[in-house]
Amino acid sequence: MAVVKVYDQDKTEQGELTLTPEVFEVAVRPEILHLVVRAQLAAKRAGTHSTKTRAMVSGGGVKPWRQKGTGRARAGSNRSPVWRGGAILFGPQPRKYDFKVNKKIRKLALRMALSSRLAGDNLLVVKGFDLPEAKTKVFAKIAGNLGLSKALIIAPEESRNLVLSSRNLPGITLTTPDQLSVYEILKHKQLVLLEGAVEPVETRLK
């Protein structure tokens, strides 16, 4: 059983919390994490790149000059790929880059990513944030108290004050249990779990 300390926003110890070992104590396999991260990044690619083939380039209906007798190379079209302003040969065409990863593998990768942060002593459980108003200055002070530099904060739900207070701080990203991704966890050195988000995360990944 993984027992972690719970802190308040001033990093004063408030008690302990037992995390589910099936979610936070999983053996990490880099190849699984690599596969899922690659799938997530591939799905973000627009794939809208396009070039014009010979069929798409306008013009080129008339042979530029006769076949023989001019001393120049043979030419059948002024839209040939070797001509300036001509078609592009084997250029990129619109396509999809995403590929399927099984649901069980995606869940396993999330467990591994969470486990890696706990094993590396980079997981912090915080009771909650007291933000009566949306002020970046207030949240910056809290982040300083907790020693956060490049951190992913998992909140039980989106709070307007928390979103507005944290969005301008470089290196700080806010997410919720249902939007949690392997890429975001591994991208940030620190992982902050608000106490209310622990149960939803465990429920999702059990």
DSSP-assigned states of every residue in 126-193: E-----SS--HHHHHHHHHHHT-SSEEEE-SS--HHHHHHHTTSTTEEEE-GGG--HHHHHHSSEEEE
Distance between CA atoms of residues 62 and 77, nearest Å:
7
CB 81 within 8 A of CB 89: yes
Q: What is the pLDDT of residue 145?
A: 93
Strand partners, 4: 17
**Cβ contact 153:174 at 8 Å:** yes
**pTM attached to this predicted model:** 0.84
Structure confidence at residue 59 as a pLDDT band (50, 70, 90):
confident
Residues 111-162 have pLDDT tens digits of 999 999 999 999 999 999 988 889 999 999 999 999 999 999 999 998 899 9
Cα dihedral 113, 139, 8, 151 in deg (nearest 10)? 10
**Contacts (Cβ under 8 Å, ≥6 apart) of 141:** none
Q: Is the pLDDT of residue 1 over 80?
A: no
In the chain, the domains with their CATH numbers are: 2-45+97-205 (3.40.1370.10), 47-96 (no CATH)
3-state secondary structure of 53: coil
